[in-house]
Amino acid sequence: MAKAQQTVLEINLNALTHNFEYLKSKLNSETKFLAVVKAFAYGSDSVEIAKHLQKLNIDYFAVAYAHEGVALRDAGIIAPILVLHPQVVNFKTIIERCLEPSLYSARILNEFIKVTEAEKQKEYPVHIKFNTGLNRLGFWQSDVDYIVSKLKNTQSVKAKSLFSHLAASEDKNEREFTLNQIKDFKSIATNFESQTDYKPWLHLSNTSGVINYPEAHLDMVRCGIGLYGFGNSAEQDSNLRPIAQLKSIISQIHHIEKGETVGYNRAYTSKGFEKTATIPIGHADGISRQFGQEKGFVFINNQKAPIIGNVCMDMIMVNVTNIDCNEGDEVIIFDGKHKASELAASAKTISYEILTAISQRVKRYIIY
Ligand SMILES: *Cc1c(COP(=O)(O)O)cnc(C)c1O
């Protein structure tokens, strides 16, 4: 790997292959694999990730919003794409670009049927989303009869799958709650199937569901974070490889006297004769101000350098008093060894937020 000469996010496709194979090894051979590539594939590069996974014969993709699916189609992705959170205004685009909507409420179901009928569609594939406890999106268990009656009344759409989402699959203390979600979802499916002459696919598990609840793998699983190298526990993290490494460079080094201050609002005061390094990455790149005031840190020559003072829009300053380093040296914000999950924990957040926050200003490089 080349030394960073500016702030870059390197995306390692070999690590992606490893994570995909690892997660797949948890499944039985009939269970399909959906890769969640929303939010630029968790802040990496959705097109490159999707192209690579398509080569590995992925079954399905999911994005949150319709325009994310359009970007994949524009890039030549031909695998089916589930849109998890569409709005009515997107329905025409969804049909034009062969995207498959999650239908999560009566309003959304009825509007989608209206549009598919107007567009003279036949059995357009849709995915019916049920709420089993997350209380975010989805029909209720008691809505099955209503949904079936609506579907029987039209030729224009067909429920290709029924799905729900686990609220706490990573949390062993919530096992009972999760098992209840699984049970409720299975009874929704039984009720649905008893009223139709075919079986839609069933899917419920995210990454932690795949790892912790084999009984919930069903016909397909939906993995996001695991593909990107995090398993929501130290034990699982050790089986996965972070695909992204965020690197930068020391732009300038300053030597400051005791009592001098660093950065906006003079938020850091030097405790003695100190050495600081200025690094070209700031909150506009995804390093939140939460990481200021010595909460967050970077690694320079394998040593930890805390972020001092306030995070600026385009820069951070770190304390390198005890680190042997020079202008031009490489800075690691996170990589496979210094994990994004550890940096996340320093500001009481999770790997998901750190990864997806890396803004589009940061150059992406694909490596193998
Ligand atoms: C984001 C998302 C996932 C992926 O979850 P991970 O924990 O990243 O594996 C799966 N299903 C739905 C509905 C989601 O919104």
Per-residue DSSP letter, 218:
T
* Residue 174 · residue 191 · CB < 8 Å: no
Q: SS3 for 113-177, per residue?
A: HHHHHHCCCCCEEEEEEECCCCCCCCECHHHHHHHHHHHHCCCCEEEEEEECCCCCCCCHHHHHH
In testing the pocket of ligand 1, which one of 44, 46, 84 has its CB within 8 Å of the most ligand atoms?
Answer: 84
pLDDT in the model for residue 3? 85
CA–centroid distance, residue 222 to ligand 1 (Å) = 6
| Residue 208: both structure tokens together | 């932690």
* Residue 319 · residue 289 · CB < 8 Å: no
In b/e form, how buried is each residue of 286-311, taking b as 16+ CB within 10 angstroms? bbbbebbeebbbbbbeeeebbbbbbb
Q: H or E element: which one contains 103?
A: strand 100-103
In angstroms, the Cα distances linking 250 to 199, 299, 322, 327, 332 are 58, 11, 15, 5, 10
pLDDT of residue 19 exceeding 90: yes
Q: Rounded mean pLDDT of the chain?
A: 97
| Residue 304: both structure tokens together | 């930890």
CA–centroid distance, residue 63 to ligand 1 (Å) = 10
| Residue 142: both structure tokens together | 């008691």
Question: Does the annotation place 317 within a ligand binding site?
Answer: no
Average pLDDT over residues 14-40: 98
pLDDT tens digit sequence for 204-242: 999 999 999 999 999 999 999 999 999 988 899 999 999
Q: Assess whether 42 carries a catalytic annotation.
A: no
In angstroms, the Cα distances linking 147 to 118, 158, 188, 328, 335 are 20, 11, 11, 61, 46
pLDDT in the model for residue 240? 98
pLDDT in the model for residue 100? 99
**pLDDT-based confidence at residue 34 (cuts at 50, 70, 90):** very high
For ligand 1, is residue 207 a contact (CB within 6 Å)?
A: yes
The ligand 1 atom nearest the CA atom of 210: 9
| Per-domain boundaries in the chain | 31-228, 244-367
Question: Does the annotation place 313 within a ligand binding site?
Answer: yes
Average pLDDT over residues 135-145: 98
DSSP string, 268-295: EE-SSSEEEEEES--GGGT--GGGTTTT
Q: Is-above-0.85 flag for pTM?
A: yes
CA–centroid distance, residue 224 to ligand 1 (Å) = 6
**What CA–CA distance (Å, rounded) separates 232 from 237?**
7
Q: Assess whether 22 carries a catalytic annotation.
A: no
For ligand 1, is residue 109 a contact (CB within 6 Å)?
A: no
pLDDT of residue 2 exceeding 80: no
**What CA–CA distance (Å, rounded) separates 113 from 156?**
7
Q: Which of 321, 304, 314 is nearest to 268 (CA)?
A: 321
pLDDT tens digit sequence for 53-96: 999 999 999 999 999 999 999 999 999 999 999 999 999 999 99
pLDDT of residue 1 exceeding 70: no
The ligand 1 atom nearest the CA atom of 64: 15
For ligand 1, is residue 41 a contact (CB within 6 Å)?
A: no
**What CA–CA distance (Å, rounded) separates 226 from 291?**
24
Q: SS3 for 294-306, per residue?
A: CCCEEEECCEEEE
Q: Which of 203, 210, 202, 213 is nearest to 230 (CA)?
A: 210
**What CA–CA distance (Å, rounded) separates 288 from 313?**
9
> Which amino acid belongs to residue 233?
S
Overall fold of domain 31-228: TIM Barrel (3.20.20)
* CATH of the domain spanning 244-367, picked from 2.40.37.10, 3.30.70.100, 3.20.20.70, 1.10.1060.10: 2.40.37.10
